């Protein structure tokens, strides 16, 4: 029977993720699990975010990719601690992989940890890694039908960043349709329209991050 096996895997993962989360909480680190398709702009978003907020927030990165350390190197060039996890074929990060990366980071020097998940719209939504929130970035070029096709991603995310809105004049995708389809699945989803290329809309994301990390600091 497949179903019980899968449930056991997820339950075992949830336990490890919960232990990671305890450690993050104790260290006062706010953790985002950033998900999205390959090419949606996850690493570009992080480059922009680091540039904008590095004087205010100490940011650390765990970078998940099937292969290569290109993205971690891109972010390390911005002067932030960045650890690369190569999943060796697996299409998502899980709690155990994050636990393996924890000794590489000094959490007394990190306020915000972003875990950039493997580019994939399916199973990253099922696996917790110890995050406070899941955040999803979707390029408008991917189309406005994605919420109907990958509902779990939209349901699990607290924030949806719709990237590359500077390309809207050249596309058939409709932003309002995308937003309505997303909110039908998750009415409390916060949606920001952004372009990592032009920078438009990113100020709203930065404000959200300032508030989220500030709030986590105030917790006992």
CB contact at 8 A, 15 and 129: no
Q: Which does 167 bind (CB under 5 to 8 A by kind): Zn ion, Mg ion, none?
A: none
Q: Which one, 92 or 128, has the nearer CB to Zn ion?
A: 92
Q: How far apart are CA 200 and CA 132, in angstroms?
A: 26
HEC string of the chain? CHHHHHHHHHHHHHHHHHHHHHHHHHCCCEEEEEECCCCCCHHHHHHHHHHHHCCCCCEEEEEEECCCCHHHHHHHCCCCCEEEEECCCCCCCCHHHHHHHHHHCCHHHCCEEEEECCCCCCHHHCCCCCCCEEEEEEEHHHCCCHHHHCHHHHHHEEEEEEECHHHHHHCCCCHHHHHHHHHHHCCCCEEEECCCCCCCCHHHHHHHHHHHHHHHHHCC
Decide: is 182 part of the binding site for Mg ion (CB under 5 A): no
Q: Which one, 9 or 148, has the nearer CB to Zn ion?
A: 9
Which of 205, 216, 188 minimizes the C-alpha distance to 34? 205
Q: Which does 42 bind (CB under 5 to 8 A by kind): Mg ion, Zn ion, none?
A: Mg ion
Decide: is 37 part of the binding site for Mg ion (CB under 5 A): no
Q: In angstroms, what is the minimal distance from the CB of 161 to Mg ion?
A: 14
Q: Considering only residues 20, 33, 37, 43, which one is a binding residue for Mg ion as defined by CB under 5 A?
A: 43
Site residues (CB under 5 A) for Mg ion, limited to 63-122: 71
Site residues (CB under 5 A) for Mg ion, limited to 131-160: none
Binding segment for Mg ion (CB under 5 A), chosen from 39-47, 73-81, 122-130, 183-191, is 39-47
Decide: is 13 part of the binding site for Mg ion (CB under 5 A): no
Q: Which one, 92 or 146, has the nearer CB to Zn ion?
A: 92
Q: Which one, 31 or 114, has the nearer CB to Mg ion?
A: 114
Decide: is 42 part of the binding site for Mg ion (CB under 5 A): yes
Q: Which does 123 bind (CB under 5 to 8 A by kind): Zn ion, Mg ion, none?
A: Zn ion
Query: Where on the chain is the footprint of Zn ion (CB under 5 A)?
Result: 91-92, 123
Q: Which one, 123 or 175, has the nearer CB to Zn ion?
A: 123
What's the CA dihedral at 218, 216, 214, 60 to 10 degrees? 130
Q: Which one, 42 or 48, has the nearer CB to Mg ion?
A: 42
Q: Which does 181 bind (CB under 5 to 8 A by kind): Zn ion, Mg ion, none?
A: none
Where do contacts with Mg ion occur on this chain (CB under 5 A)?
A: 42-43, 71
């Amino acid at each position: 029977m497949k179903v019980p096996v899968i449930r056991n895997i997820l339950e075992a993962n949830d336990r490890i993720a919960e232990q990671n989360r305890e450690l993050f909480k104790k260290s006062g680190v706010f953790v985002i699990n950033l998900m999205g398709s390959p090419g949606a702009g996850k690493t570009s978003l992080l480059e922009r975010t680091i540039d904008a907020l590095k004087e205010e927030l100490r940011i650390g990165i765990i970078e998940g990719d099937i292969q290569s350390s290109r993205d971690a190197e891109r972010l390390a060039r911005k002067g932030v601690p960045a650890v690369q996890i190569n999943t060796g074929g697996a299409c998502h990060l899980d709690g155990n992989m994050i636990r393996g990366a924890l000794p590489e980071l000094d959490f007394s020097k990190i306020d915000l940890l972003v875990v950039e998940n493997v580019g994939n719209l399916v199973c990253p939504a099922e696996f917790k890694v110890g995050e406070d929130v899941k955040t999803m970035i979707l390029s408008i070029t991917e189309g406005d039908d994605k919420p109907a096709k990958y509902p779990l991603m939209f349901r699990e995310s607290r924030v949806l960043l719709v990237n590359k809105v500077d390309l809207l004049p050249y596309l058939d995708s409709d932003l309002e349709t995308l937003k309505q389809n997303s909110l039908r699945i998750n009415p409390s989803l916060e949606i920001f329209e952004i372009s990592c290329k032009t920078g438009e809309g990113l100020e709203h994301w930065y404000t959200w991050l300032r508030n989220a990390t500030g709030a986590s600091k105030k917790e006992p």
